[in-house]
Structure 1
Amino acid sequence: MPENKRESGIALITVLALMATLGVLAASAVAISSYAAAETDTFTSLQRSILEAESVANRTLFLLLSDRAKYADRRLGEPEVSAGPRFLADGTKHEFIVNDRPVTVRIFDATSGVDISGRNPSRQLSSLFPSKERNEALEVLNARLDDYADNDELVRDRGMEAPHYRAAGIPELPRNRPMQFREELFWIPGAAGLFPADPAGRSGAVRLIAPEGLRPLSGRASLYASAPEEIAARCLLTETETEQLKQAFEAWREGRKPLRETLPPGLLGKLEVNYSVRESGAYSIVVDTASPEYPGCRLAVTVRPSVGGRAIEYYEFIHY
């Protein structure tokens, strides 16, 4: 009898262990199934967002061209003259609903940021970063930039040529000719710290380099497409003036309140000496399809519509 009880106990333990194992397997199967479903939903949402972003970018471009045809004066920061929304290169947020999903888009002037094209890419950096500490870092970057773009192996003071890049583990550099893409700047040691990404994740402080065959994006940078920190550095603004500028930009983009009404007298004129307040004719359309409910992508499209024609030059079309 005691032996039968022991056998019964062993059998019970075995059954319970088997049931526990089956329970764990069932829970694992449910968890894996839920994970796979969530992963599929995420992937599907991202794929949908790509198409939605392209759709909104095309729609925004159409509305921008329509606005240009209706309003010849492309000066930015002026009071509203129409009952409907304006589509200007001033960074104002526009919202669309696509397939019951919110999509936001902003239009910026593509002529913004420092120009690093050509064989002398450091030429526009001299007026930035007035503080002594940042000036020292800028001097090093200037030397490395010019060494990167020139066609010789002579090393400038504090510069870098092929032996230095090999020692740093990047033997493919330097290019030894003008940069083809603005993102090349961030291959150069020390550049990323001086030119961090903007809130949209783009290199907004650096001007896009025109692809071969397209007109360069030349001219003064747009005031409404430039970061307040860059403006403050170039115009030698105080901390108080910089904060006032940030608040003025916010008031314009959220409530369309002109800068002349929110900035102290004389400050706007100081800014307009260094920056343009008229559209250059080249535009960067930045679309964001992400929301708390749906994962999504961003799309940046930079175009220059031909004046009087139907052609549109594309400088950039990138999902990220």
Structure 2
Amino acid sequence: MDETAVEVVIRDMNAGITLSGYNPGAAFNFLTARLNDNPTLKQHFDPFRDRLMDYTDSDELLRPNGMERADYETMKLRPLPRNAPLQFREEILWIPGSEYFIRPDSGGRLADINLVPPRGLRFTASRPHFFSASLELIQDKCDFTDRETETIAELRQRIIAGESSIEEAFSHYPLWYETLKKQFSFTESAYYTLEAKISPQEKIPSRRLLVSLRLSSALGEQNIQFYEWIIL
């Protein structure tokens, strides 16, 4: 019998910001407070947002700090830009300046950005799910200090472990709780990401399977559709 250890984690698929559609630049408005404390980010923000909007709009009109087809051709990046909404989230890495605002997680995935639904599938995302969002996104969206974020991480872990309810955990931090509720959802969506990871062992390479899908009792086995299915 194979005794290889496998770790399985289930998260809400709505864990980040949404870049789908024709106005992806608005998804970064939450950075306003952070920009005032970080001159480097502030310097690069308007160029990045203008380039993102030029990349996804349908015309060749150039925004003040943007880039259109001629600029990409000069950089030997033809046939960019798409001049249409993003088709997959990793596409944003093709936009110069994105490296200042896009953070891959420890596994290299852009977990702070929601998946762009494949053609034919719908995914309506509102506020990211608090228990699935990264601590970095929580800190940025709520403008928490490092120490405040550490405390929130401890409270979140207590709730996840079943040691206290949400109300009990935040009973001494009511203002934090109100701030979090404005930026994050505490209710699960019907969309989930399942991660199965083989623990590193001698002679066995570490592998991860990630599957994102909609779960519903109304869906039969033959009707399940996947938003992501990758092996890393």
Indicate the TM-score class for this superposition, using the shorter chain for normalisation. Answer: 0.7 to 0.9
Cα pair distance change 1:251/1:142, threshold 3 Å: same
Q: How does 1:65-104 map to 2 (within 5 A)?
A: 99-104=2-7
TM-score (norm. length: structure 1): 0.65
Question: Which position in structure 2 is the counterpart of 1:285?
Answer: 194
Distance apart, 1:180 and its partner CA: 0.5
| Amino acid of the structure 2 residue aligned with 1:265 | Y
Distance apart, 1:307 and its partner CA: 4.3
Q: How does 1:121-140 map to 2 (within 5 A)?
A: 121-128=24-31, 130-132=34-36, 133=39, 134-140=41-47
1:308 equivalent to 2:211? Answer no
CA displacement, residues 139-183 of structure 1 (integer Å, 9 cap, x when unaligned): 221111100000111111111111111222212210001110011
CA distance in 2, matches of 1:249, 1:232: 13
CA distance in 2, matches of 1:178, 1:242: 33
Q: CA RMSD for the aligned pairs?
A: 1.9
CA displacement, residues 262-290 of structure 1 (integer Å, 9 cap, x when unaligned): 44421223211211011110001112114
Question: Which position in structure 2 is the counterpart of 1:203?
Answer: 110
Question: Which position in structure 2 is the counterpart of 1:234?
Answer: 141
Contact 1:224–1:277 (CA under 8 A) maintained in structure 2: yes
Contact 1:128–1:230 (CA under 8 A) maintained in structure 2: no
Structure 1 gap segments, 5+ residues each? 1-97
The structure whose residues are more often helix, as a share, is 1
CA distance in 2, matches of 1:261, 1:196: 32
1:297 equivalent to 2:207? Answer yes
Contact 2:60–2:69 (CA under 8 A) maintained in structure 1: yes
Contact 2:44–2:100 (CA under 8 A) maintained in structure 1: no
The structure, 1 or 2, with the larger RCO (C-alpha pairs under 8 Å, 6+ apart) is 2
1:317 equivalent to 2:217? Answer no
Kindly, what percent of the aligned residue pairs are identical?
32
TM-score (norm. length: structure 2): 0.88
CA distance in 2, matches of 1:128, 1:290: 36
CA distance in 1, matches of 2:43, 2:30: 13
User: Larger radius of gyration, structure 1 or 2?
Assistant: 1
Contact 1:282–1:302 (CA under 8 A) maintained in structure 2: yes
Question: Which position in structure 1 is the counterpart of 2:162?
Answer: 256
